[in-house]
Amino acid sequence: MAEVAGWIWQHNLRSLLELLSHYVGYDFDGTDWDTAELELRTDTLLAAFAQG
């Protein structure tokens, strides 16, 4: 399982984003999660590529 920012595990990230969206009055749905998950994968691949 991938780590995000060194302390938030990816499988907990969705719950965190849903909770935060609740506090700001935003309806976090599946499309939002798909976008966040894609961004995490892209960042991970770019970091791996940069390290060589």
- pLDDT tens, position by position, 2-23: 555 555 566 688 888 899 999 9
CB neighbour list of residue 28: distance below 8 Å, 6 or more residues apart = 17, 18, 21, 22
Domain range holding 27?
A: 3-51
Cα distances (Å, whole numbers) of residue 50 to 4, 30, 34, 45: 17, 30, 24, 9
CA distance 32 to 27: 9
Give residue 25's pLDDT.
Answer: 97
CA distance 22 to 26: 6
Total of domains in the chain = 1
* Residue closest to 17 by CA, chosen among 48, 42, 8, 1: 8
What is the percentage of the chain residues whose pLDDT exceeds 70? 63
